Structure formats: structure tokens, C-alpha cells
A and B are shown apart, each in its own frame.
Chain A
């Protein structure tokens, strides 16, 4: 983690985690009375996104630690719960929606983890099957070098059987997690993309080979696994490239160990386009054939994305018929076209994923 500026919210300045993190980063922190000073520092920079990736604010999460995924209207959401450990990311993917999601974009890490653990205890006690992940507003594993939060969470989740934790990443910092007593309650997940997308659009991420190797190591240690083909980037020849990635995946990983595979095509709020143009001038991803979707986000023209979905779903079904594959934020037409059924016919997408989690992770409904 290459942080250049470290701010510490005065409210948590005495927290031992702040001292530890500052020492690990080798930085002298600047105490601030509120988040405003850090926000202003980032917002006033020539490139706020790049500055935000080098600026860390240690603070406390003043809101809820566990929140529903902010799925949009019309399209089907999996009703995943987000565990809010921090915000933003040190990796730099051209398509990353977080560039325009946070105002301003800033790395924040929440040190009031005892409250986070209390929130988890409350959820565990509710007696409902829950799928909870840390990789929505940040990458799950980028914090491990300064605070092994995933290690703490894996141990926490191992002690119950109502919820699974999904750790979702494009990095491979897993060495310290391999021998943990995970009790199959943590799913190790990786975002996958084609070699050309990883090379050209995902700055600072682990290679595809490294991600698959890390997944294989986790498989050997008994972790349930998941993979996310999201965002799918459409370009001439992309189907061949994505099929090659699927083949590599199934040549490396035993499909019976995969809890789910998600597919989702590149979609973004219109605000992202000028940011990508300015920050990634060589990138062509925003010049795809996009229309404004029913939720106001730009999406690939539907017949184009449906064609790719169908090709990939056919391959997944051929190679791994038992794996639960699903779409992240698509409508019934996409499901019917690619899978031949709608989520409602299977009890709804959340129920489909709950069943997969129960089967692979030993949850007790």
C-alpha cells in the first residue's frame, strides 16, 4: 500500500489501530478535527482520483457497518449485504465506478472494529441466512498489509453458521489467510477478466495467472471459492477471450468447489465517462455501444450483451453444470435468453444464492 498522506480523525487518534497502521505505513499522521480537511485536500488536487488513492483517512464508521447492496431499480439484485470496512481502492482500474461514486474519492479505513464485530453478532443472531461481503466499496484484500482485517473476519465468521463472508479481490495477498480455521464460512472470490483487459485496464492488479494460482491455493486449504466476471468488456474477439479465461479457470479449479460465478457487463453512471477520458486517455472502454439503461446507468446495447452472456453461460454449463451462475443486475429477458429461466422460477436470485451458500458452506437455515 503506497500511501503518501495519512490523516487521522482526532476522534480516533488514541485508537491503538491508528498507531499500528501509521507505523506500518512509516508515515507521520496529520490529525484532523473532521473529515473535511482530508476531503478538501483530495477534492482540490489536479487529479482527485489519483490523489485519493494515495491519501488515507483513519476514522470511525459513523453509519451502519452492514448495509444492503445499493442495487438499482428494474434490474435483479442478489440482495448481498456489504460489510463496510473502508472505502476506495489503491488499485487503478479504468472502468472502476468508485472513481465517480465517492465525492471526493478518498481511502478511508474504519478503526472502530469492535462496533463492526458487534454489528456482525447482531446479524448472526437474527437466524437468517446472510451473504456478506467486503469487496463492494473497496477491494477486500488491499488493507491486509496494514491491518489484517480479513483474518479477523474469517475467524469471526468461522464461529457461526448463519452467514458467509465473501472476500472479493483482484490481489493475491492471501499467505496469512491460508491456514486459518475458516470452517468453510468464508468464500474466497476473485474478479476475473481477459488477459487484454487485465493488462490494459487494470493498473496495479495481480495478473490473471496469479489470481487463479491464489484461488487454487485457497482451494487446497478447503476454502469455498467464487468468481466474478464483472465487468465484462465487449470488444471484437471478446467472446473467444472470455471463453479462454473460463477454460483456464476450470482447468485450474475444481468446479465442485465453486459456490457461484457471476456475470455482469460494464455499466456506469454517465459521470464516469469524462473521468476515464481524462485519466485513461488510451483506454477505449467508454466508446462501446452504450445506451442509457432503465436505472440511468449506461449499458451495452442489450442484443450485444445478451449474445455474450449466452456464449459464456453455455460454456459454464458445459464445463461446470453444477455451479450456480448468475447475473449481477440484469433483467428477466437476459436470464431467459441465457439460462432459459428467470430467477422467480427458482424462488428468486437471493434464494438461489442462499441455497448455494448452504450447500457449499454448511450454513444452517
Chain B
């Protein structure tokens, strides 16, 4: 589709008209500096409206940057009259997607705007491919769910602090619970696997103790950890995970603590590591030892020979650790 180059007054552009807006990016400072130095390389794409104003199809930040620079006019590319809404939306998506990867919120926004024109997700996904937006029906379905999330959670997704998978899990929760978890993840930036673990434990604790997720995350011990200025982000993540685990799995945590205490009591050198079976479920323990010389190996063998008679070792391999209370 050919767009006609024109020059228009910035006051003629209605920046409140967001029908075709895909981009979520807000800051224009860097862009304004770039335009001031080398000019506007890629003029915004606009369409004329019946009220003789122009709507932006692509280039919302460029228009704002030009205004910030005090320009009164800007070059633009005008879409010829007669194009239907779907075609113009396609131009908006393509003009954004061909210059950069769209973030998840932008993809969700594109899907939301285009989906009324398609009978099913497969047709929509196929249509988006040539526009530079690589989708499949499953992803289209998931992106539609993002649009149901609160603005706060969508902002977290836009900033990349929570993934699509986590966002969709949050979408299943009530609004305050989802927002409380999104706030936790946005503030602490745990890894994806840590987010999954925290999400699962927080949901279970809240359900089992008849608490709300915000009450759990935003009051008491967790609130203290999160607001503690003496901890950096990684330390807070570690403390929050430890707190949640102890609350969700008190018996397992107590058993693991007792195991560690008994393992330390064995006074094994660093080169010898005693490993329990995963979750203490299977029966086989393992010992890993590292050595460089025959003398080191001989010393390790001597250490190993004393283990069977050690009461701590016996307690460990029989999984009978006195400090742990298995059920309560």
C-alpha cells in the first residue's frame, strides 16, 4: 500500500485517537535527541479523519518527540482514503513489527484489535505472519487472556518482569491476589523458576490457611523482608523463598534442617559430599569424593571407613532425625 508523503501541522494530529496504537513505549527523550541531531528519518504514518484531523497509525512517540522539540509541522505519510479498518490496523502492526520485536503487551494489543475481523484464532495467526508478527493459534488464545489482566500486571509484562506463562497463571487468580504477586515479582525480579515456585507456594498457603494472598505477601514477616534496606534483591528473593517454603512445608523443612545438622556433625572434608535421595523418597544415598593424589584418596577412604559406626550417619541413612517432627 502506497502512503503519500505530506507535511502537516502538529496541531492537526489528534494524539488522543489511539485506535491504531500498538506500541507501549512511552519515553521520548532519547528519540527527541536523535531527531534533533539527524532529523526525522521515518515519518509517522497517519490517516485523515472526517473531522479534518489526523489519527496516528504508527509513530506516536515520533509525534510526541517532535512536539517536545517545539516543531510546528512534521513530515508524515498519509494513507489514501478508502482503506478499511483492518487494513489500516495491519499497517500499524507491520510498521511496528518490521522495525523491532513487539513485546507481549504489544502483541496482545495487536491481537485484540485485529481479532474482531477473524472467525478463529488460526486465521488470525496466519494473517499476522506476513505483518512480521509470528503467532500460532495457541499463542493467540493466550495473548487474548493477557488483555483481561489489570493494567498493573500488564505493565509488569511490558517491563519484562513477569513472563507470559506467569501472567496467565495470575489471570486465574482474583484481581488483588494477581496484583500482589505481580508486585512481588516486579520488585524482586526472581527468575522464572523462582516465580513459579513462589506462586505455587503462596497460592497453597493462602488456600490452606484461609488467608488472602495480599495478606500473606504484604503483611507480617514477608513485608519486613521486602522492605528491609539491608538486603539486596537476591538476598530478599532467598529470604522470601525460605519463608514460603517453611510455611508451606514445615515438616519437610524441619527434616531438611535436621539432616543438614547431622551432616555437619559428620565433619566430612569438603572433598567428600554425602547426598540424600531426591526428597528423601528413594532409599539410595550417594557419596561423591574428589581427589588429586593417591594419598588424598587414602585419607578419604579412612574417613569413609569410620562413617558406618557414626550415630549421625546411621540416623541419616535411616532417615530418623531426632530434631524433626514429621507431621506437626
Q: Which residues in A have some Cβ–Cβ distance to B below 8 Å?
A: 74, 234, 236, 238-239, 277, 284, 287, 289, 291-294, 299, 301-304, 306-308, 331-333
The answer to whether A301 touches B251, judged by C-beta atoms less than 8 angstroms apart, is: yes
Please, what's the 1-or-0 string for B251-287, where 1 marks a CB less than 8 Å from any CB in chain A?
A: 1100100000000000000000000000111110000
Interface set, chain B 282-328, CB cutoff 8 A to A: 282-283, 319, 321, 324, 326-328
Does B208 sit at the interface, judged by CB under 8 A?
Answer: yes
Closest to B259 in A: A303
Closest to B321 in A: A303
How far apart are A75's CB and chain B's nearest CB, in angstroms? 10
Cα(A291)–Cα(B253), bound, Å: 12
How far apart are A311's CB and chain B's nearest CB, in angstroms? 10
Given contact pairs A289-B249, A289-B252, A308-B327, A301 touches B279 in the complex (Cβ within 8 A): yes
Q: Could you pull out 12 A-B pairs where Cβ atoms are within 8 angstroms?
A: A236-B328, A238-B327, A287-B204, A289-B250, A289-B252, A291-B279, A302-B280, A302-B319, A304-B327, A306-B319, A307-B326, A332-B283
Select B319's contact among A74, A239, A303, A308, beta carbons within 8 Å. Answer: A303
Q: With A236-B327, A289-B250 given, can you name 18 additional A-B contacts, CB distance below 8 Å?
A: A291-B279, A291-B281, A294-B281, A294-B282, A301-B252, A301-B255, A301-B326, A302-B280, A302-B281, A302-B319, A303-B280, A303-B321, A304-B327, A308-B327, A331-B282, A332-B283, A333-B283, A333-B319
Interface set, chain B 225-265, CB cutoff 8 A to A: 249-252, 255
Cα(A292)–Cα(B208), bound, Å: 19
How far apart are B254's CB and chain A's nearest CB, in angstroms? 10
How far apart are B247's CB and chain A's nearest CB, in angstroms? 11
The answer to whether B326 touches A304, judged by C-beta atoms less than 8 angstroms apart, is: yes
The answer to whether A287 touches B281, judged by C-beta atoms less than 8 angstroms apart, is: no
Cα(A333)–Cα(B283), bound, Å: 7
How far apart are A129's CB and chain B's nearest CB, in angstroms? 30
- A234: B residues at CB distance < 8 A: 327
The answer to whether A331 touches B283, judged by C-beta atoms less than 8 angstroms apart, is: yes
Interface residues on B, range: 10 to 19
The answer to whether A307 touches B327, judged by C-beta atoms less than 8 angstroms apart, is: yes
Report how many A-B pairs have Cβ atoms within 8 Å.
55
How far apart are A152's CB and chain B's nearest CB, in angstroms? 43
The answer to whether A303 touches B279, judged by C-beta atoms less than 8 angstroms apart, is: no
Cα(A74)–Cα(B204), bound, Å: 29
Does B207 sit at the interface, judged by CB under 8 A?
Answer: yes
- B280: A residues at CB distance < 8 A: 301-303
Given contact pairs A301-B251, A301-B255, A302-B319, A293 touches B208 in the complex (Cβ within 8 A): no
From A236, A277, A292, A302, name the one whose CB has the most chain B CB atoms within 10 angstroms.
A302
How far apart are A218's CB and chain B's nearest CB, in angstroms? 34
- A302: B residues at CB distance < 8 A: 279-281, 319
Cα(A304)–Cα(B321), bound, Å: 12
Cα(A299)–Cα(B280), bound, Å: 12
From A277, A284, A289, A307, name the one whose CB has the most chain B CB atoms within 10 angstroms.
A289
The answer to whether A291 touches B208, judged by C-beta atoms less than 8 angstroms apart, is: no
The answer to whether A303 touches B249, judged by C-beta atoms less than 8 angstroms apart, is: no
Select A303's contact among B204, B283, B326, B328, beta carbons within 8 Å. Answer: B326
Select A287's contact among B207, B319, B328, beta carbons within 8 Å. Answer: B207
